Amino acid sequence: MSEEITPIEALSSLYFEMAYADGNFDRDEMQMVIDKLTAWQVELDKELLDKAFDRWTSFSSAGERIDFVIDMVLKVSDLLNDNQKNEVLKDLEQVAKSDYEISHKEAKLYKGIYEAFFPEGQ
């Protein structure tokens, strides 16, 4: 992608992916995503959120989207300190739990993001 992706857009792709990891967007999960992203950027405007969501949904295959999300995990990992990474992981866990169950795919995604953030463990 030639267009520069802002840190909040990169972060939002992780949150969107977690909300969708179980195969659907639950309203409670999406509200949790909005709440969590707003906590990272107090004045998260709707246009920026829409742009990030449009970018995340623009891929023609799940494989392309996953490749993008992997790139965004690495970008976010480079931008954040360990405390901030832990906050993102807590957020992602809450997003996954917001529909009252954590699917196998959500758990697998969480583990992959954790391992990318902390390749040597913590």
**Cβ neighbours of 51 (radius 10 Å):** 16
Structural domains of the chain in order of their starting residue, each with its CATH number:
7-117 (1.10.3680)
pLDDT in tens, 22-49: 777 778 888 888 888 888 876 667 787 8
**Cβ neighbours of 97 (radius 10 Å):** 14
Band of the pLDDT at 9, cuts 50, 70, 90?
Answer: confident
pLDDT at 51 over 70: yes
pLDDT in tens, 91-104: 989 888 887 778 88
Q: Return all residues near 121 (Cβ < 8 A) that are at least 6 apart.
A: none
d(C-alpha 90, C-alpha 67), whole Å: 23
pLDDT in tens, 61-117: 878 888 888 888 888 898 889 999 999 999 989 888 887 778 888 888 888 889 888
d(C-alpha 42, C-alpha 98), whole Å: 21
User: Nearest 5°: phi and psi at 6?
Assistant: -75, 160
pLDDT at 1 over 50: no
Q: Return all residues near 116 (Cβ < 8 A) that are at least 6 apart.
A: 70, 73, 74, 77
Band of the pLDDT at 54, cuts 50, 70, 90?
Answer: confident
Q: Are 101 and 10 in contact (CB under 8 A)?
A: no
Q: According to the model, what pLDDT value does residue 68 have?
A: 86
Q: According to the model, what pLDDT value does residue 42 have?
A: 62
User: Nearest 5°: phi and psi at 96?
Assistant: -60, -35
Q: According to the model, what pLDDT value does residue 52 have?
A: 84
